[in-house]
């Protein structure tokens, strides 16, 4: 073995064809990732950091709100089911404090749809990703969220 590592490369043209964006401009969107499972929050943080985003992980809703008071996020990505404050309650609080912050919820539980319906009845409409999510799909959804005004995002 020569000791060299080989990595699969993806041509920039292919990234553009898939509608994915890489962040190369002066403003890197700030993404707040929240999950009580540290490995998930840390993995998403690594993926997004390598894709050019400024990412801040948090492991519960209270910590996320404290971080957001210091640095206003452009996008909140949060698990729905967490001890203490749920992701939906966090999203509602985040939108109240930061109206321009986009929200992307993710969950692996079917009962999430009922919680989203309740939130929608109260006037809150959030985008949803189902776990497990492939990094390519995650980046595509984030790109769509960042390009879309918060008021126009919807549950998928």
**pLDDT tens digits for range 43-97:** 999 999 998 899 999 999 999 999 999 999 999 999 998 999 999 999 999 999 9
- Asked whether the predicted pLDDT for residue 21 surpasses 60, the reply is no
Cβ(73)–Cβ(37) below 8 Å: no
Rounded to the nearest angstrom, the gap between the alpha carbon of residue 87 and the centroid of all alpha carbons in its chain is: 11
Top pLDDT among 116 and 33 is at: 33
| pTM, two decimal places | 0.72
CATH topology of domain 28-152: Rossmann fold (3.40.50)
Query: End-to-end CA distance of the chain, in Å?
Result: 47
Measured in residues, the chain has a length of: 156
Where along the chain do its domains lie? 28-152
Q: Which of 27, 67, 31 is nearest to 49 (CA)?
A: 31
């Amino acid at each position: 073995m020569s000791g060299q590592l080989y990595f699969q490369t993806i041509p920039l043209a292919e990234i553009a064809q898939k509608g994915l964006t890489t962040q190369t401009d002066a403003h890197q969107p700030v993404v707040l990732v929240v999950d009580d499972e540290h490995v998930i929050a840390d993995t998403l943080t690594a993926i997004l950091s390598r894709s050019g985003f400024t990412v801040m992980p948090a492991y519960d809703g209270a910590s996320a709100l404290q971080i957001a008071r210091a640095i206003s996020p452009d996008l909140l990505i949060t698990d729905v089911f967490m001890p203490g404050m749920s992701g939906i309650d966090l999203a509602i609080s985040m939108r109240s404090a930061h109206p321009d912050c986009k929200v992307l919820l993710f969950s692996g539980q079917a009962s999430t749809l009922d919680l989203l319906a309740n939130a929608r009845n109260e006037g809150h409409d959030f985008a949803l990703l189902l776990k497990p999510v492939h990094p390519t799909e995650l980046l595509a959804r984030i790109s769509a969220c960042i390009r879309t005004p918060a008021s126009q995002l919807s549950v998928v």
